[in-house]
Amino acid sequence: MYKDILVPIVFDHDPSEQQALAVAHKLAKAGGKVTLLHIVEELPGFITVQLPEEIYKDTIAEAKSKLQALAKTLPIPIDVMVETGHASRRILQCAEQLKADCIVISSHKPGLSDYFLGSTAAQVVRHATCTVHVLR
């Protein structure tokens, strides 16, 4: 069905990455590609000054390692990306950059302000230029 699928993965919420991978696998057409993406939120400067540089680099390396382990669970081509920045903006930018025709994103249980979707998923749904599948 889809040629290029982007799957944002968040490791600090419920473990829904296997569900997202299963959906991406079903939606990928023969010869399709899946890209797993993890966004490391940038910390404010007044905080990063107090932290050793290795912590940020280690966080990125650990995320890449986890994504590579997830990538081995499916029998289709899977790329991994770790980016920094604001989650919803970077997801949308990466989708444009990769020319993704589908985004498979998990949504956490929202609070009152985002009753139907989590805030990141809601922003991606509202602003994506491609199909978005939201998992709950």
Contact between 32 and 3 (Cβ < 8 Å): yes
Taking the domains of the chain in order of start, what are their residue ranges?
Answer: 9-135
> pTM of the predicted model, to two decimals?
0.88
Encoding tokens for residue 126?
Answer: 């509202």
- Kindly report the backbone phi and psi dihedral angles of residue 57, in degrees, each rounded to the nearest multiple of 5, phi listed first: -65, -40
**CATH dotted code for 9-135:** 3.40.50.620
Kindly report the number of other CB atoms within 10 A of residue 81's CB atom: 19
Model confidence over 35-66: pLDDT tens digits? 999 999 887 878 878 888 788 889 999 999 99
Per-residue pLDDT of the chain (136 residues), as tens digits, is 899 999 999 887 556 788 899 999 999 988 889 999 999 988 787 887 888 878 888 999 999 999 999 999 888 889 999 999 999 999 999 999 999 999 999 886 655 444 455 688 889 999 999 999 999 7
